[in-house]
Amino acid sequence: MNANPTLIVGSLAFDDLEMPSGTFDNVVGGAATYSSIAASLLCPVRLVGVVGKDFPGEVLDSLRARGVDTAGVERAEGRTFRWHGRYSADLSSRTTLDTQLNVFADFRPKIPTAFSTSPFVLLGNIHPALQLEVLAQIERPQLVIADTMNFWIAGEPKLLGEVLKKIDLLVINDEEARDLSGIHNLVKAAADIRRRGPKHLIIKRGEHGALFFDDAGVFFAPGYPLEDVVDPTGAGDSFAGGLIGYIARAKNLAHPTMRRAIYFGSALGSFCVEGIGPRRLLEVTRADLQKRMDAFMALVETGGPVELPE
Ligand code: AMP
């Protein structure tokens, strides 16, 4: 594939999901799983994470079949990381009922030598100390994107501050942006966060789209309107995978590339929520992705110059 490889580090998991449509146990998930599946439609992926003895080999086989190099996925003694979440009736919010770290508790990312020169890097939502360990093991990439969550914002602010100084793009949701900055207004919050390190910032607003902040100002991409949202789990990670996958394929970091990458991320997030766990995402082809991008562009096309009529 004519694209730069992307290194993705993060969780591989079993999720127990409670949704208004029913309860689904032992769903294969994890942030790195979703990001890898999404990114692999656009570029070769190098995955680093840990699974337990209970993780199905067929899942790793299916990732490999998509061009994901799993040489960095360690199989440790013990059980795979497990997350149990419950969604609200309208699927717009969720509560974590249980997190079992299992093999993730002792996870120390080991970046295979062959991965250490990866030009594009996605640091999934893991302990900021581990994100720093990854960065210490690699040569300076062209672009480092990181995700984080409230848990680390509240619990590890100093280490997270170190991460912010070393990354190029932070991808978080609106609640996390407010928690991280202590500022309610998202434009002001973004300016505060960018002052701490990342020159680029994306604030995700779920079905309401995503805001992108850089030196050029603010850019907005809506969420793709769907009739049936089945399971929002992994949407943010699929967004991040699509985003970095597109940039890796475009091989440049110009502002227009970033704008288009955000649309690709949104499109992949929209596919993700159409099925339980990664089920739908796994069946999406490059042709499906192009079709959704065309529909997405038609959605925001005004059909003419936006000028005040005489
Ligand atoms: P998202 O819906 O994009 O936020 O991603 C949900 C995925 O993140 C699920 O598949 C979970 O297994 C995984 N996840 C949930 N909590 C954590 C955590 N504390 N650390 C790493 N991964 C997590």
- 152-163 residue pLDDT tens: 999 999 999 999
Q: Let me know: does 81 contact 12? Beta carbons within 8 Å.
A: yes
Q: Is residue 1 pLDDT above 60, yes or no?
A: no
**13 pocket-lining for ligand 1 (C-beta < 6 Å):** yes
**236 pocket-lining for ligand 1 (C-beta < 6 Å):** yes
CA of 295 to the centre of ligand 1 (A): 29
Contacts of 246 (CB under 8 A, 6+ apart): 42, 257, 260, 261, 264, 265
pLDDT in tens, 171-189: 999 999 999 999 999 999 9
Q: Is residue 3 pLDDT above 80, yes or no?
A: no
Q: 55 forms bridges with which residues in the sheet?
A: none
Q: What residue's CA is closest to ligand 1, atom 6? A: 234
**108 vs 263: CA distance, rounded Å:** 33
**Choice between 280 and 3, residue whose per-residue pLDDT is larger:** 280
**118 pocket-lining for ligand 1 (C-beta < 6 Å):** no
Region 273-302 average pLDDT: 97
**106 vs 123: CA distance, rounded Å:** 18
pLDDT in tens, 38-50: 999 999 999 999 9
pLDDT at 2 (0 to 100) = 65
**Choice between 97 and 4, residue whose per-residue pLDDT is larger:** 97
**16 pocket-lining for ligand 1 (C-beta < 6 Å):** no
Q: What residue's CA is closest to ligand 1, atom 9? A: 30
pLDDT at 46 (0 to 100) = 98
Q: Let me know: does 48 contact 11? Beta carbons within 8 Å.
A: no
- Which atom of ligand 1 is least distant from the CA of 27? 10
Q: What is the pTM of this model?
A: 0.96
Q: Let me know: does 114 contact 130? Beta carbons within 8 Å.
A: no
CA of 31 to the centre of ligand 1 (A): 5
pLDDT at 71 (0 to 100) = 98
Q: Within 10 A of 53 (CB to CB), how many other CB atoms are there?
A: 11
- Phi, psi dihedrals of residue 169, rounded to the nearest 5°: -145, 125
- Which atom of ligand 1 is least distant from the CA of 237? 3
pLDDT in tens, 199-234: 999 999 999 999 999 999 999 999 999 999 999 999
For 162-301, strand residue ranges (E) read: 169-173, 200-204, 210-214, 217-221
Region 103-110 average pLDDT: 95
CA of 103 to the centre of ligand 1 (A): 15
Q: What percent of the chain has pLDDT over 70?
A: 99
CA of 300 to the centre of ligand 1 (A): 31
- Which atom of ligand 1 is least distant from the CA of 236? 3
**17 pocket-lining for ligand 1 (C-beta < 6 Å):** no
**182 vs 193: CA distance, rounded Å:** 10
Q: Let me know: does 25 contact 50? Beta carbons within 8 Å.
A: no
Q: Is residue 133 pLDDT above 60, yes or no?
A: yes
**265 pocket-lining for ligand 1 (C-beta < 6 Å):** no
Q: Within 10 A of 43 (CB to CB), how many other CB atoms are there?
A: 23
Q: Let me know: does 59 contact 26? Beta carbons within 8 Å.
A: no
**Choice between 93 and 17, residue whose per-residue pLDDT is larger:** 17
